[in-house]
Amino acid sequence: MIRSVLKWIRDKVLLPRDNGIITYAYYLAGHRVRYVPLAVMACDMAEWAETLPHNIDVVVGIPRQGLIPAAIAALYLGKPLSTPDLILEGKYWQSDKIATGPIKRILLIDDSYASGYQFTKIYDSLRQKFEVIPAVPYAQGSWKFPIPPSKDCPYTTLFWTNLTHTPTILGTDLDGVLCEEPPHFKSDYGLELYYRDAKPKRIPTYEIEVIATGRRECHRRVTVNWLKKHGVKYKHLVMRTDGSILETKRDAIRKYKPRIFLESDPHEAKWLFAHTNCPVITP
């Protein structure tokens, strides 16, 4: 029942929003990229977990992102959870309701598989001590192990954590991405108060190349103060002067040439991609 509800949410609510933007980031460094939001990943994992073998002793997730599908798999299978380093020391997390015996057979999980370099290296090291069953939810077509992935992708899979924690030349909208979307105020005073106290939403841990926002230039001071308060690192802040919101963002993308741009509005995202050819993701 739970799996069918999650599948309905993914297929009817989450994925129809993309229109080629949320799920597919077009071309990034010459390769097609499939963007998978965390909510879609969780739904895919709930369905994929049913294909996993039960005759294993421990689920081992490759940190950090591989721990997400590994945790879901361990919960579904009722098995302890560990990491490659910990399991070699005989350590794992388990519920007091789960009975465990000798650890002989492990299910090794990562988030995705492309070149397979890291995965194969860990797989070979664990095989010296355990019988290892490899599994990944997303594979780029070169997967050669028995358990099929949830999705066989002919291009790179990109997750939100890749955008926030793996440095790239990033451009981003502000409202709806870095902070929550503001309500419609009739006065500049109301906007000023909101901009001052806006709740942070998705803050990358590295320096952003350009923040391009529809906020007017007269709100620069309160915007800069908010960015500083929440530890947002950036090189350029482009705000609206005479042009429209879309023109402001388009010109910023053309000038600073980010490899990816994050946009909160799907319709604006499609327009920006069409007018800049820059991959645009609606997170």
34-89: pLDDT as tens digits: 778 778 888 888 888 888 999 999 999 999 889 989 999 999 999 999 999 999 99
CATH number of 167-281: 3.40.50
Q: Work out the average pLDDT over 106-135.
A: 90
Q: Who's near 32: CB < 8 A, 6+ residues apart?
A: 24, 26, 154, 155, 156
Q: Who's near 244: CB < 8 A, 6+ residues apart?
A: none
* Band (106; pLDDT cuts 50, 70, 90): very high
Looking at residue 153, its pLDDT comes to 63
Looking at residue 58, its pLDDT comes to 96
Q: Work out the average pLDDT over 12-31.
A: 40
C-alpha 16/C-alpha 213 separation (Å) is: 26
Q: Looking at the predicted structure, is the pLDDT value of residue 20 above 60?
A: no
Q: Looking at the predicted structure, is the pLDDT value of residue 28 above 50?
A: no
More confident residue, 276 or 20: 276
CATH number of 38-153: 3.40.50.2020
C-alpha 148/C-alpha 129 separation (Å) is: 24
Q: Looking at the predicted structure, is the pLDDT value of residue 94 above 60?
A: yes
Token pair of 269 as six digits: 């995202």
Looking at residue 261, its pLDDT comes to 94
Write out pLDDT tens, residues 174-206: 999 999 988 876 577 788 889 999 999 989 999
Looking at residue 111, its pLDDT comes to 87
Contact 83, 62 (CB under 8 A): yes
Write down the domain spans for the chain.
38-153, 167-281
Q: Looking at the predicted structure, is the pLDDT value of residue 232 above 80?
A: yes
Of the candidates 181, 243, 246, 240, the one whose C-alpha atom is nearest the C-alpha of residue 215 is 240
Looking at residue 80, its pLDDT comes to 93
Cβ neighbour number for residue 141 with a 10 Å cutoff: 11
Q: Work out the average pLDDT over 109-131.
A: 89
Contact 140, 111 (CB under 8 A): no
Q: Which amino acid, residue 43?
A: C
- Is 38-153's fold the same as 167-281's? yes
Looking at residue 3, its pLDDT comes to 52
Looking at residue 2, its pLDDT comes to 46
- Average pLDDT of the chain, as a whole number: 83
pTM, entire model: 0.72
* Band (23; pLDDT cuts 50, 70, 90): very low
Contact 108, 83 (CB under 8 A): no
Q: Looking at the predicted structure, is the pLDDT value of residue 31 above 70?
A: no
C-alpha 86/C-alpha 234 separation (Å) is: 37
Of the candidates 173, 135, 107, 137, the one whose C-alpha atom is nearest the C-alpha of residue 36 is 137
159 phi and psi angles, rounded to 5 deg: -110, 165
Q: Looking at the predicted structure, is the pLDDT value of residue 16 above 90?
A: no
Residues listed for the chain: 283
Q: Looking at the predicted structure, is the pLDDT value of residue 246 above 70?
A: yes
Q: Looking at the predicted structure, is the pLDDT value of residue 96 above 60?
A: yes
Q: Work out the average pLDDT over 99-118.
A: 86
> Quick one: how far is CA 121 from the chain centroid?
24
